[in-house]
Structure 1
Amino acid sequence: MTLHKPQRHIRFNAFDMNCVGHQSPGLWRHPEDKSADYNTIGYWTHLAKVLEKGLFDGLFIADVLGTYDVFGGSNETTLRAGTQVPVNDPFLLVSAMAAVTENLGFGVTAGTAYEHPYPFSRRLATLDHLTNGRVGWNVVTGYLPSAARNMGQEDQMEHDERYNHADEYLEVIYKLLEGSWEDDAVVKDKVNSIFTDPSKVHEIRHEGKYFKVPGIAITEPSPQRTPVIFQAGASKRGTQFAAENAEAVFVTCPTKEMLAASVKKIRDAAEAAGRGRYDVRIYAMQTIVTGPDNDSAQAKFEEYKSYADINGALALISGWMGVDLSSYGPDEVIGENVKSNAIQSSVETFRKASGDSNEPWTIRKLAEWVGVGGFGPITVGSGAKVAEELISWVDETDVDGFNLAYAITPGTFEDIVEYVVPELQKRGAYQTEYAPGTLRNKLFGQGDRLPEQHRGSRYRLASAVAAV
């Protein structure tokens, strides 16, 4: 196991969703924002090329399968504001983006609650083949009750039970992708008319509490076999799940103190699960507004804030926290008129992050904070100022890099590539070229397949073990 802190570059992922605005409700109205073009191939292929120019590790595509309907007890505000609805399937974007790039990775969100792992394993393997091993899967267990209802259930499974279900889901995936086909099963023997040697393909014979999958995988081994596993659960059970399965974890912490504690918790959990402390890449949410100098960046940020949709932001917050904020007026003070432990705790954190510890926070101010980039911290300034600030985050928290939300797209990412990346490179804090191989090798430099200490490797065939 790795016991020391390795030297490493700051890593970037772009954070987007196949919808309008993602985490910046109302910014779709900005004249330079193109997020309303989310349902065109051109938007995504352009974005992919921008990110690859900036040597980003990947594009992380979030997803939901329901609407945010806590605010006001309906999805009316959500629909009006375009708050993560309409939303399209993230998987169907990847092939087009892979065709115009050579190195960019793709972390695609998919839930374990509603699709059987047998067909899903085929989708994962297909994308891994088509991208030559540049795919990751962001494993989510689901959190929107509206999605559960539309899938014929009264509500989501209880929290910890969702993770128990996901554990078995992953077990089936590992068995299919790691333990069904031997590496040399496909022989392509034209002389003897044998494409696949049947003796090298094995049934997985899985019988569990939730799934029964007796047969073989119907895809041949892809470059990574199992795509890189991403995860974002922050609960105790979610952290345990991440420690056993995740290779990249996304966290949202508005302050350095919170982030340092979160990073330590994840690394401790990975070590307790028999893995190295640095066998998990940890990315923290961050929104960057930058430009050629500090004044222009600040002016840009003020302009962005003027486009934020307050009700759209409150619909997001209500859905994330499970608290209906529609019953409060926008100027009611949190902690005085607004009594909610969840809201007050979040506001105290945002106060620390903003350095604004004295001024009363209202519902409106909370919405304005979240309205540009979501719950994560916002860094505003020239490329040099932002670079120095990001370096300080890494030095003080031990985080690996940042999951970058946008204010406008692709403008936010274009600005980061133009102004921030060169400043980080000048300081030796950012890669100047991609590592070779698959997404897994680019992230860890230890080959294309799951490492031996990872949970999934225990389902690997003996012939596959020898190939690692």
Structure 2
Amino acid sequence: MPKEILLNAFNMNCVGHINHGLWTHPRDQSDRYHRLDYWTSMAATLERGLFDGLFLADIVGVYDVYQQSVDLALRESIQLPVNDPLMLVSAMAAVTKGLGFGVTVNVHAEEPYIFARRLSTLDHLTDGRIGWNIVTGYLDSAARAVGQSALGEHDTRYDRADECLDLLYALWEGSWDDDAVLGNRKARVYADPARVRKIRHEGTYYRADAYHLSEPSCQRTPVLYQAGTSGRGRKFASRHAECVFISSPDTTVARAASRAIREGAVGEGRRVDDVRIFAGITVVVDRTQRAASEKYEDYLRYASPEAGLAHFSAGTGMDFSQYELDEPITYGKGNFVQTSVDLARERGWTKRSILSDMALGGRYPLIVGDPNQVADALEAWIDEGEVDGFNLARTVAPESYEDFIDLVVPVLQERGRYKTAYGEGSLRNRLFGEGNRLPARHHGAGFRPNGTARDVE
């Protein structure tokens, strides 16, 4: 039986996200990002298309590496201004029943004790449809904004993230028993004190002496997303991630990344299918190949490859404005997005080639065609790239999502490659079919009272 494709809409609480410059297109509505009805309408649209989730990216710094300035980021709205993604979720959950929500939060920008309650609250309010995209950051500007001199060393950031996750697991999984809440009005006992325990944690980076403030939610631990595919990032994903987001230029690179991620999970005592892998993709579709090509040419007139280059500069920590178009570039080992640096070095990218790849303002593989051509290409990524689904980047919003839903989804459904209804239960159960909670073989399950929990009184 062919694999059923999973699908997230990839977006951000800002004007310009991945495909830069398209906010200037006359049909684009992304400048309404600070309006609640913009997001509730989008959520309803995505639910109509049976999207598994809305994946919300985020940053807590600014892109100031290119030209050593924030000027272009401001002029082109390169993820600036950007609002909090978590604030959108409860409103969108109120107008949907099946759509999941993956929110990006930098593990180093939050106090675990407070953050645990925020995610539990959203898990309650969404009936178990919340996921967390765990990031460790890659912007010096974000570190400076919170009083640090510079971004911490790459691998050390993951060491700290490992400890943070252990503390969060202890709070989410170990503080309250499933039957702690009695709600007994006659006996005047809402929660049984004997079934609620204090979490004590004394670590290298964190200390805590606290009860989790929230009663158990549907999933307890949110679905865990992660996007790091460097050596250290992959080790982190092997232990924690349930869904991994990869950015690969083709199916060959995607296949290698997918196999490495799954092998890592098995090495941590998990199963090969305990991880769902999503590839970043951009689609321009219309009813005919000619119409799709014309739409693409129309979009190109508004796109900003230079803004895409500025975004890439921030990810690699390299100011590409200082290079001539065909000047050889020396890519050193950076402290930023290592996989981007490694790929650029491996392929010998020059400024000209990067700008060419970012003709539509973004760096993800591009599919342009009629519905059948797009479906063919997506199936090839699934079968040859060995991924499970896609994070579909927006171009002109909300048009690009509407086009995909109206034109591509029916074709995929006819081919048996896309669901015709949402499954039951939580986001985790819909993705994996094994219930609402972390499986017993996941590292986080060991923090349950009947597991091998540490730091629990």
TM-score by structure 1 length?
0.92
Q: 1:175 aligns with which of 170, 181, 193?
A: 170
Q: Which residue of 2 aligns with 1:355?
A: none
C-alpha distance 51-253 of structure 1, shift in aligned 2 (>3 A): same
Residues in 2 aligned to 1:84 and 1:377: alpha-carbon distance in whole angstroms: 20
Is the Cα contact below 8 Å between 2:200 and 2:209 reproduced in 1?
yes
Contact 1:373-1:407 within 8 A present in 2 as well? no
Deviation of the 1:281 alpha carbon:
0.4
Alignment partner of 1:380 out of 365, 368, 371: 368
Shift of residue 84, structure 1, vs aligned partner: 0.5
Residue of structure 1 in register with 2:337 after alignment: none
Q: Secondary structure at the match of 1:278?
A: helix
Question: Which residue of structure 1 lines up, in the alignment, with residue 229 of structure 2?
Answer: 234
Deviation at 1:368, TM superposition (A): 4.6
Match of 1:3 in 2: none
Question: What CA distance in whole angstroms lies between the structure 2 residues aligned with 1:135 and 1:372?
Answer: 31
Contact in 2 for aligned 1:11/1:400 (Cα 8 Å)? yes
8 Å CA contact 1:250, 1:282 repeated in 2: yes
The one of 72, 92, 95 aligned to 1:97: 92
CA distance in 2, matches of 1:181, 1:24: 44
Moved more, 102-111 or 392-401: 392-401
Equivalent residue number for residue 340 of structure 1: 330
**1:412-431 equivalent positions in 2, closer than 5 A:** 412-431=400-419
In 2, the alpha carbon distance for the partners of 1:283 and 1:76 equals 33
Would the aligned equivalents of 2:128 and 2:426 in 1 still touch at CA under 8 Å? yes
Residue 43 (structure 2) pairs with residue 53 (structure 1): no
Match of 1:437 in 2: 425
Corresponding residue SS for 1:238: helix
Out of 3, 27, 34, the position equivalent to 1:8 is 3
Q: Provide the aligned C-alpha RMSD in A.
A: 2.0
Equivalent position of 2:303 in the other structure: 308
1:257 maps onto 2:234 in alignment: no
CA distance in 1 between counterparts of 2:359 and 2:13 reads: 18
**Deviation at residue 364 of structure 1 after TM alignment:** 5.1
- Equivalent position of 1:409 in the other structure: 397
Local SS of the residue matching 1:399: coil
Give the C-alpha shift of residue 365 in structure 1: 5.3
Deviation at 1:339, TM superposition (A): 2.3
* Residue 312 of structure 2 is aligned to residue 324 of structure 1: no
3-state SS of 1:403 partner: strand
Given the superposition, is the C-alpha separation of residues 295 and 32 from structure 1 closer, same or farther in structure 2, using an over 3 Å criterion? same
Asked if the contact 1:81–1:311 (Cα under 8 Å) also holds between the matched residues in 2, the reply is no
Which has the larger displacement, 255-264 or 365-374?
365-374
> What's 2:351 paired with?
363
Instruction: Supply the distance in 1 between the matched residues of 2:223 and 2:361 (Cα, whole angstroms).
Output: 26
Structure 2 residue 216 is matched with structure 1 residue 221: yes
Measured in 2, the distance between the counterparts of 1:340 and 1:42 equals 46
> What corresponds to 1:297 in structure 2?
292
Alignment partner of 1:72 out of 67, 70, 78: 67
What is the aligned partner in structure 1 of residue 20 from structure 2?
25
Q: 1:349 to 1:34 in 2, by over 3 A?
A: farther
1:142 maps to a residue whose letter is G
Distance in 2 separating the partners of 1:263 and 1:463 = 30
**How big is the shift at 1:372?**
2.6
Rounded Cα–Cα distance in structure 2 between residues aligned with 1:366 and 1:16: 22
Classify the secondary structure of the residue corresponding to 1:110.
strand
- C-alpha contact 1:256 1:396 (8 A) present in aligned 2: yes
Q: What one-letter code is carried by the residue in structure 1 that aligns with 2:329?
A: K
2:83 is aligned, of 72, 88, 93, to 88
Q: Give the whole-Å Cα distance in 2 for the aligned partners of 1:373 and 1:175.
A: 42
When residues 374 and 184 of structure 1 are mapped into structure 2, their CA distance, relative to the original with a 3 A threshold, is: same
- Tell me, yes or no, if the aligned pair for 1:52 and 1:104 is still in contact at 8 Å: yes
CA distance in 1, matches of 2:442, 2:402: 36
**Residue type at the aligned position of 1:43:** Y
| Counterpart mapping for 1:127-166 below 5 A | 127-166=122-161
Q: CA deviation at 1:347?
A: 6.2
CA contact (8 A) 1:245 1:454 kept: yes
Instruction: Return the alpha-carbon distance in structure 1 between the equivalents of residues 143 and 345 of structure 2.
Output: 32
Structure 1 contact 183–464 (Cα < 8 Å) conserved: no
SS in 2 for 1:380: strand
Amino acid aligned to 1:168: E
Per-residue CA distance 1:244-296 (angstroms, 9 max, x = gap): 00000000001111011010000110111110011000000110000111111
CA deviations on 1:76-131 (whole Å, 9 max, x unpaired) are 11111100000000000000100000000000000111211000000000000000
* 2:441 aligns with one of 447, 453, 459: 453
Letter in 2 for 1:121: A
Shift of 1:366: 2.4
Report if the CA contact (8 A) 1:254-1:350 is conserved: no
- After superposition, what is the alpha-carbon deviation per residue over 1:162-191, rounded to whole angstroms, capped at 9, x for unaligned? 001000100111000100001111111111
Please report how far the alpha carbon of residue 160 of structure 1 lies from its aligned counterpart in structure 2 after TM superposition. Answer: 0.7
* Offset, 1:344: 9.5
Distance 1:345 1:174, change over 3 A: closer
Q: How many angstroms apart in 1 are the aligned matches of 2:199 and 2:157?
A: 23
Residue-by-residue CA offset, 1:198-233 (whole Å, 9 max, x unaligned):
111001111111111112101000000000000000
Q: 1:371 to 1:75 in 2, by over 3 A?
A: farther
Task: Kindly provide the amino acid, as one letter, of the partner of residue 354 in structure 2.
Answer: L
5+ residue gaps, structure 2, are: 333-339
Aligned-pair CA distance for 1:362: 6.5
- Give the partner amino acid of 1:278: D
- Per-residue CA deviations over 1:28-65 (Å, capped at 9, x if unaligned) read 00011111111111111111111111111100000000
Query: Is the contact made by 2:2 and 2:417 (CA closer than 8 Å) also made in structure 1?
Result: no
Aligned residue identity for 1:195: Y
Identity of aligned residues (%): 48
CA contact under 8 A between 2:305 and 2:362: conserved in structure 1? no
Q: Is the 8 A contact 1:281 1:400 kept in 2?
A: yes
Contact 2:382–2:389 (CA<8 Å) still a contact in 1?
yes
In the alignment, the residues of structure 2 paired with residue 249 and residue 18 of structure 1 have an alpha-carbon distance, to the nearest angstrom, of: 21
Q: Is the 8 A contact 1:90 1:108 kept in 2?
A: yes
User: In 1, distance between residues paired with 2:177 and 2:288?
Assistant: 56
